[in-house]
């Protein structure tokens, strides 16, 4: 029993509550937040190593045995996502320390960030489908608070749309949970996976699977459910947009991987063509949307949509290798996307606007910022020494290997368009001559530069250490697709049904 | 009974969708509330008789005692009710605040973040 | 607006009764209907009744509690009592019980303390929600009221 799996949940929970109680003493509250994020980061790195060497880690909440209680399961997928989430949260907290209006701290900005981390960590570690819903709601509530904190008109309008569409998605999730419980009579993911085969009317499972696809798809912003994202993501402060871009849509993608990759594998085979269609449309529509925009954050927001397409492509390939490749890409894009938001946010702070037309000449004035931005877009587009190359390469290799030529061609074409659209920002913001006198504009301090730069360096290092990462993601993909292994790890070698029967006797 | 509940669920969903397609924010929120009621009822039905097997409660003979309902769905519904209560309170406050900032209840006038 | 004599008299009488009832509900909740959630709702009903009868500012004065901090404390307290199990090598939230049952209260263990945390959280959150929504001019700055408007129900203590 790996009871330490509860540490990443307890630490942000205690940190958030203590930060609320000590909200008056700013330094104490900040120290609490930093300590709990660092605790999560250290733990998730250790968990990554532990899962890599010893396989899945399982713990049963409250000591209730597996199909009855709530199981916590860490496999390769969960460990990687947990680790990336902690890294992003550390960068966000550091960025917020330097850039955020102090008024935000009085309205519990940091506790909300920690609640977001709590919800995300819980979602990555839980092995119970209804518990996953609860963690979704935890992180959604935190995100509702974060997106409307500040109360400008744009935030309220964008927040309302974000909230309503996410609530509809959550409701669909709840419907799917209820239907699934009605069909298989259990909520433990391992037990559901075991009972899938013995369902008398498999048709209803397809309906449930489509419900899950709608629910998670609306969180992950796939086409045609992405509308809430570009209309709300550019309204809150940069730090909030960055952490949202890194975490929120990816939790939806993670849940798709978990539910279709492990629990409902038969349905994954049925839905694979649909998923590939969605993936292609998401990539193309996202990147076309980005090309039409003239605002740094809106361009990046549309790119989030486009990149979700690659993640869904990994799922749609419906194999362990496809899932591994999609996972590698997702982990990369979480880091790079947040880095680009941070650096774009620094440019936004200098000029006081996120529109790219009035900007210019930043490369001469802030060469460090320009270098890291350029490395970031190279990574996003997938140029060799950086992490993006290996993610896309793995996806294309698997795609071509499985004969999915069309989606592979679309993916390759989209990455060219991605690079083109990011170059637009490069040309307008960094390269072209400045319109106005730049000497009056503020300089970039280390607090604005470092978090984004650190994340770009992480991407660079990840690219250089690609063989380790590819090995790890292959392990994670294999673990994810290995249904029998998952059931055995959660319920013991005989499976959940045996435990269930013996408990009833 | 199941048929009756199914009709009720269907009506709740239908009413909710109708309300959510209106342009008024308040009706939109009422639609969300109705939707969550419909889902709660759906979960309730799922635990009641449609579900295969019986609740994992057994007496000394290893048989489910008669007249015992599935307690799990009630726990699920309670959780869902608490969550939707909190979210409804938040979305009401948000709609109120948005109404102050924008000065209208019409969703079509809340499009300033949609423009290119 | 808040001027019903009957409501005010009853509300004043009900506050201690409801608070007592809430503690009773909290303690009997482990095996019988009740528990921290129900108890917390009963207690916050007591405060909300004051708010309905006398107005939110009186409700704040009669129970001078920082409800947000109370809710945070409750979550912290509830989470804390899962920790002993974690430190003794058991899964988080595994229950520990003190064996001899205390007459009139029942068995005491970490789940009861967890429930106490839930109680504080529910009291804090529901009361704060109700008070904030009732104090809307404070929460959401509005144009000043026209002169001559009835001032908020000033209670005679």
Q: How many domains does chain C have?
A: 1
- Which of A138, A161, A185, A498 to mutate against chain B (most B CBs within 10 Å)? A185
Chain A CB contacts of B101 under 8 Å are 151-153, 156
Q: Is residue C150 part of a domain?
A: no
Asked if residue C156 belongs to a domain, the reply is no
Measured between CB atoms, does A61 come within 8 Å of chain C?
A: yes
Nearest CA in chain C to B94: C140
Residues in CB range of A141: below 8 A, 6 or more apart? A115, A119, B86, B87, B90
* Residue contacts between B and C (CB atoms, under 8 Å): 13
Inter-chain residue contact B47 with A174, CB threshold 8 Å: no
Q: What are the two backbone dihedrals, phi and then psi, of residue A73, each rounded to the nearest 5 degrees? A: -130, 130
The phi, psi pair for A308, rounded to 5°, reads: -60, -30
Question: Which value, to the nearest 10 degrees, does the dihedral of the CA atoms of residues A306, A312, A313, A319 take?
Answer: 160
Structure tokens at C55: 């107005």
Query: CB-hemisphere CA count at 13 Å for C2?
Result: 21
Tens of pLDDT, residue by residue, chain C (157 residues): 557 899 999 999 999 999 999 999 998 887 788 888 999 999 999 999 999 999 888 999 988 989 999 999 999 999 999 888 888 888 888 888 887 777 767 778 888 899 999 999 999 999 998 888 888 754 444 333 334 433 333 333 3
Chains touching B (at least 3 CB pairs under 8 A) are A, C
How much is the ipTM here? 0.92
CB contact (8 A) between residue B87 and residue A178: no
d(CA A381, CA C66): 51
Q: Do C76 and A60 touch (CB under 8 A)?
A: no
Q: What is the rounded distance in angstroms from the CA atom of residue A305 to the CA atom of residue A296?
A: 15
Q: Which of A156, A192, A215 to mutate to test the interface with B (most CBs of B within 10 A)?
A: A156
Q: At what angle do helices C36-54 and C110-134 cross, to 10 degrees?
A: 20
Within-domain flag for C148: no
If 0-12 CB within 10 Å is exposed, 13-18 middle and 19+ buried, where does residue A266 land? middle
Integer Cα distance of B33 and B30 in angstroms: 5
Residue C21 structural domain: 5-138
C75 in contact with chain B, both atoms CB, cutoff 8 A: no
Report, as an integer, the average pLDDT of A437-446. 77
d(CA A337, CA A179): 36
Write out the residue range of the structural domain in which residue A200 sits: 3-504
pTM of the full structure: 0.92
Beta strands in A129-222 (DSSP E): none
List the single best residue of C125, C135, C138 to mutate versus B (max B Cβ within 10 A).
C125
Residues of chain B with Cβ-Cβ distance to C133 below 8 Å are 89, 92-93
Q: Which residues contact A414 (CB under 8 A, 6 or more apart)?
A: A283, A284, A287, A306, A309
Identify whether C153 is part of a domain: no
DSSP letter, residue B45: H
How far apart CA C54 and CA A75 sit, in angstroms, is 56
Question: What percent of chain A is modeled with pLDDT above 70?
Answer: 99
Whether chain B has a CB inside 8 Å of the CB on C17: the answer is no
pLDDT in tens, A149-162: 887 888 888 889 89
What confidence tier does A271 reach under pLDDT thresholds 50, 70, 90?
Answer: very high
Asked if C138 has any chain B CB less than 8 Å from its own CB, the reply is no
- Residue A31 burial (CB < 10 Å; 0-12/13-18/19+)? middle
Chains that touch A (3 or more CB pairs under 8 A): B, C
- The full 3-state SS of A101-148, as one line of letters, equals CHHHHHCCHHHHHHHHHHHHHHHHHECEHHHHHHHHHHHHHHHHHHHH
C145 assigned to some structural domain: no
CA distance linking residue A96 with residue A87, whole number of Å: 14
What is the domain count for chain A? 1
Report pLDDT digits (tens) over A98-146.
Answer: 888 887 877 889 999 999 999 999 999 999 999 999 999 999 999 999 9
Does some domain include residue C31?
yes
Q: Which residues pair with B75 in a beta bridge?
A: none
């Amino acid at each position: 029993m790996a009871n330490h799996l509860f540490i990443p949940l307890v630490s942000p929970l205690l940190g958030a509550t203590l930060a609320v109680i000590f909200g008056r003493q700013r330094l104490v509250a900040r120290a609490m937040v930093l300590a709990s994020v660092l605790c999560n980061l250290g733990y998730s790195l250790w968990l990554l190593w532990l899962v890599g060497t010893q396989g899945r880690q399982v713990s049963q909440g409250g000591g209730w045995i597996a199909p009855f209680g709530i199981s916590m399961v860490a496999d390769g997928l969960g460990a990687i996502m947990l680790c990336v989430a902690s890294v992003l949260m550390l960068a966000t907290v550091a960025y917020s320390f330097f850039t955020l209006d102090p008024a935000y701290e009085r309205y519990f900005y940091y506790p909300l960030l920690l609640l977001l981390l709590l919800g995300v960590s819980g979602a990555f570690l839980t092995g119970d489908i209804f518990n996953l819903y609860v963690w979704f709601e935890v992180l959604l509530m935190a995100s509702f608070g974060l997106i409307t904190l500040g109360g400008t008109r744009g935030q309220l309008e964008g927040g309302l749309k974000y909230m309503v569409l996410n609530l509809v998605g959550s409701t669909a999730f709840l419907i799917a949970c209820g239907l699934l419980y009605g069909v298989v009579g259990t909520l433990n993911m391992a037990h559901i996976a075991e009972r899938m085969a013995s369902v008398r009317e498999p048709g209803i499972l397809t309906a449930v699977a489509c419900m899950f696809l709608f629910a998670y798809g609306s969180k992950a912003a796939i086409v045609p459910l992405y509308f809430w994202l570009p209309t709300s993501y550019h309204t809150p402060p940069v730090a909030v947009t960055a952490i949202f871009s890194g975490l929120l849509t990816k939790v939806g993608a993670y849940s798709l991987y978990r539910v279709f990759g492990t629990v409902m594998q038969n349905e994954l085979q049925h839905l694979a063509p649909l998923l590939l269609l969605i993936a292609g449309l998401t990539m193309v529509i996202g990147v076309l949307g980005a090309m039409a925009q003239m605002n740094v954050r809106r361009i990046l927001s549309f790119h989030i949509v486009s990149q979700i397409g690659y993640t869904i492509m990994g799922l749609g390939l419906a194999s362990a290798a496809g899932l591994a490749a999609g996972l590698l890409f997702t982990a990369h894009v979480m880091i790079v996307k947040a880095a680009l938001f941070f650096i774009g946010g620094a440019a936004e702070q200098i000029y006081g606007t996120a529109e790219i037309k009035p900007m210019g000449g930043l490369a001469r004035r802030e060469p460090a910022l320009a270098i890291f931005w350029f490395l970031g877009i190279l990574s996003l587009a997938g140029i060799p020494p950086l992490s993006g190359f290996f993610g896309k390469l793995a996806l294309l290799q698997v795609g071509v290997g499985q004969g999915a030529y069309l989606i592979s061609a679309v993916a390759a074409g989209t990455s060219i368009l991605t690079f083109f659209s990011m170059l637009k920002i490069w040309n307008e913001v960094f390269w072209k001559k400045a319109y106005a006198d730049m000497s009056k504009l503020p300089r970039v301090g280390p607090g604005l530069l470092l978090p984004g730069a650190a994340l770009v360096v992480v991407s660079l290092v990840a690219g250089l250490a690609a063989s380790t990462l590819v090995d790890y993601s292959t392990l994670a993909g294999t673990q994810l697709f290995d249904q029998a292994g998952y059931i055995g790890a959660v319920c013991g070698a005989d499976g959940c049904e045996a435990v269930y029967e013996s408990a009833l006797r | 009974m199941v048929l009756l509940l199914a009709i009720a669920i269907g009506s709740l969903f239908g009413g909710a969708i109708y309300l959510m397609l209106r342009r008024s924010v308040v009706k939109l929120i009422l639609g969300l509330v109705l939707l969550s009621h419909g889902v709660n009822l759906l979960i309730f039905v799922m635990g009641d008789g449609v579900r295969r097997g019986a609740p994992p409660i057994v007496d000394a003979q290893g048989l489910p005692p008669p007249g015992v309902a599935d307690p799990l769905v009630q726990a699920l519904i309670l959780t869902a009710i608490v969550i939707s209560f909190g979210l409804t309170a938040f979305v009401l406050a948000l709609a109120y605040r948005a109404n102050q900032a924008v000065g209208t209840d019409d969703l079509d006038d809340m499009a300033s973040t949609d423009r290119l | 607006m808040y001027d019903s004599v009957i409501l005010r008299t009853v509300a004043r009488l009900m506050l201690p009764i409801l608070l007592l009832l809430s503690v009773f509900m909290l303690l009997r909740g482990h095996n019988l209907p009740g528990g921290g959630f129900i108890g917390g709702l009963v207690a916050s009903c007591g405060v909300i009744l004051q708010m309905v009868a006398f107005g939110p500012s009186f409700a704040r004065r009669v129970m001078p509690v920082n409800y947000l901090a109370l809710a945070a404390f409750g979550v912290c307290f509830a989470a804390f009592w899962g920790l002993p199990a974690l430190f003794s090598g058991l899964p988080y939230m595994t229950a520990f019980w003190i064996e001899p049952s205390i007459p009139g209260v029942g068995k005491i263990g970490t789940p009861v303390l967890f429930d106490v945390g839930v109680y504080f959280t529910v009291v804090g959150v529901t009361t704060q929600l109700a008070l904030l929504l009732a104090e809307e001019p404070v929460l959401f700055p509005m144009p000043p009221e026209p002169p001559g408007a009835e001032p908020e129900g000033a209670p005679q203590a």
